[in-house]
Structure 1
Amino acid sequence: MTVASMTGFARVQGASGVVRWTWELRSVNGKNLDLRIRIPNGLDTLEQKIRERCAAVLKRGNVSVGLSMQRDQSATSFTVNETALEAVLKAVALLRERAPDLAPATMDGILGQSGILTVNDAEDDEETRAAMMAELTATLDQALAELSAMRATEGTAVGALITGQIDRIAELTAAAETLPARQPEAIRARLAAQVAELLDAGAGALDPQRLHQEAVLLATKADIREELDRLTAHVAAVRDLMRSGGAIGRRLDFLAQEFNREANTLCSKSNDVDLTAIGLELKAVIDQMREQIQNLE
């Protein structure tokens, strides 16, 4: 399975009998699957099908589903209310007698009066309506397939960025692992020099045994073995998720938080300029990765 972005767009047209329509689907980032549906009046039974079909292929994202419909005007007839028309024509004639300077009434103006012209749409029988609903559903499925394909294409691009960033995190973790300053010999030499300075400054007032205990404690607090091990484990977990694909955005976001926690701890424990630089770059790469993760389903 591939990873999918949460952003995409699809537009599909369809027709059945004298009715034409257009589906438009738009998707952006969201914590859950949030559907906003706009369909013409009289198609209330279609809304549940829309929700079911969207939920079957989309797991997360704010998704807008719009349906616009038009009926062929050649299938439309009109009825003129003769009584209402006669009354309006008499009123027009009367006004022209009393106010001859008024502009003459137009046909559009007369027919536009309420109750004169009635539009008669052709009534669809049960079979025609069932065929239209089936075609509406089929074109909705087509629109969802196109939306999913666009989300998958963008997800592939985002996944490539995340893969590059996780490779960089692995490189920085390995660099921290092999820093000369965190080797046992270097740590012992640095602590020994610090203890020697304290003893010289205290002129024997300091307890060597106590200083030794404090030095061991400081060395333990400064050790980043656990942080490096967890960073390595998180790198492996992200790679496993990327290989599995599917709706992995939330789990990746959790791992990004864990990455950030370890990088912060590494920086706080650092007693070496090079290690601090690695920690800061780790934080920068993790922030960039987390921004990309926000786009994934």
Structure 2
Amino acid sequence: MPLFSMTGFARAGGSLGETDFVFEIKAVNGRGLEVRFRLPNGLERLERPLREAIAKLVKRGNLQVQLNVAAGADGALPRLDRQVLDHLVAVAREAAAAHGLDAPRIEGLMALPGVFQRGEGSAPALDEAAEDKILLGAFDQALGQLNAMRAAEGGHIAAALAAHLDEIERLTAAAETQAATQPAAIKARLEAQLADLLQDKAGVVSPERLAQEVAMLAVKADVREEIDRLRAHVAEARKLLKAGEGVGRRLDFLAQEFNREANTLCSKSTDVDLTRLGLDLKTAVDRLREQVQNIE
């Protein structure tokens, strides 16, 4: 199944008699699914079927759905209802005076529903069922466009994630190789330190005692478990990428686990080169997580 991005934009429209309309859908990242609607007065009834249509295709993200309507070029000019406007002006002025606010602006009042009426010669309005069928059909087109854009972007993100996982796997293998040299390096450093401490003294450390100290330090510096877990996380992340749809949260959790193992590897390291590899791992994990934030 394809991987979906949470971001996208689409628009589709049509006409209801002499009235043109356009749906616009904007989608951005979100922790869950949140949808906000901006619908013209009188079309609030569409919110439920629109929400149901979205839920069938979108599982996660913040969406804003806006429906814009305007008289068509061939439609009759709307008629200003002065009685309604005068009433709104009077009410707005009274409210402004009561609360010590500035006088209302006329353009804001003229944008309110009911101020303009259908002009003479306008085509008769469609019934609700006919309107809804046309409007919902256009919305389905916009939603299909949005999903296609999300899938295309998801494909690009999937390729980037695969590359980041390859890099994490490469660095993990390099860290394993470098970590194998730690016991010998620890022994050499400990011998050098003891030689400095015992210089000009008669004390001698037995080979058995030295071996015990080296073994204790080597256990503390052992990163094999971290290496194994990093490899397991890479394998699981690849399975999720192959599964596709709806894996964003699980990939985000894995990214956190990657980061935890890289931090532990760095803290256990007694070798400059291994520490450098651990820091490179953290950088690769950060890049992975940045991309994961965009996945549904």
Q: TM-score range by the shorter chain?
A: 0.7 to 0.9
SS of alignment partner, residue 171 of structure 1:
helix
Determine if contact 2:262/2:278 at 8 Å carries over to the other structure: yes
Amino acid of the structure 2 residue aligned with 1:10: A
Determine if contact 2:223/2:265 at 8 Å carries over to the other structure: yes
SS of alignment partner, residue 65 of structure 2:
strand
Runs of at least 5 residues in structure 1 that lack an aligned partner in the other structure: 85-116
Distance in 1, matches of 2:136 and 2:2, equals 26
Higher alpha-carbon Rg: 1
Determine if contact 2:183/2:214 at 8 Å carries over to the other structure: no
| 1:84-140 deviation digits (Å, cap 9, x = unpaired) | 9xxxxxxxxxxxxxxxxxxxxxxxxxxxxxxxx975676636xx3311101111111
Q: Does residue 156 of the first structure (1) align with residue 155 of the second (2)?
A: yes
SS of alignment partner, residue 31 of structure 2:
coil
- Pairwise mapping of residues 129-168 of structure 1 onto structure 2 (< 5 A)? 129-168=128-167
Cα-Cα RMSD: 3.0
Which moved further from structure 2: 221-230 or 133-142? 133-142
- Pairwise mapping of residues 220-259 of structure 1 onto structure 2 (< 5 A)? 220-259=219-258
Q: Structure 1 residues 191, 220: closer, same or farther in 2, change over 3 A?
A: farther
Distance in 2, matches of 1:80 and 1:165, equals 63
Q: What is the match of residue 296 of structure 1?
A: 295
- After TM superposition, the score normalised by the length of structure 2 is 0.78
**CA-CA distance at 1:200 after TM superposition:** 3.1
Q: What is the match of residue 87 of structure 2?
A: none
**CA-CA distance at 1:79 after TM superposition:** 11
Distance in 2, matches of 1:249 and 1:281, equals 24
Determine if contact 2:16/2:131 at 8 Å carries over to the other structure: yes
Amino acid of the structure 1 residue aligned with 2:290: E
- After TM superposition, the score normalised by the length of structure 1 is 0.78
Q: Structure 1 residues 148, 203: closer, same or farther in 2, change over 3 A?
A: farther
SS of alignment partner, residue 178 of structure 1:
helix
Distance in 2, matches of 1:240 and 1:220, equals 33
Q: What is the match of residue 22 of structure 2?
A: 22
Match of 2:198 among 175, 195, 200: 200
**CA-CA distance at 1:29 after TM superposition:** 0.9
Distance in 1, matches of 2:267 and 2:206, equals 28
| 1:52-72 deviation digits (Å, cap 9, x = unpaired) | 111111111111100012345
Distance in 1, matches of 2:80 and 2:224, equals 87
Q: Does residue 173 of the first structure (1) align with residue 172 of the second (2)?
A: yes
Runs of at least 5 residues in structure 2 that lack an aligned partner in the other structure: 84-115
Q: What is the match of residue 95 of structure 2?
A: none
Q: What is the match of residue 184 of structure 2?
A: 186
Distance in 2, matches of 1:144 and 1:6, equals 13
Aligned length: 260
Q: What is the match of residue 89 of structure 1?
A: none
Determine if contact 1:195/1:211 at 8 Å carries over to the other structure: no
Identity level (%): 48
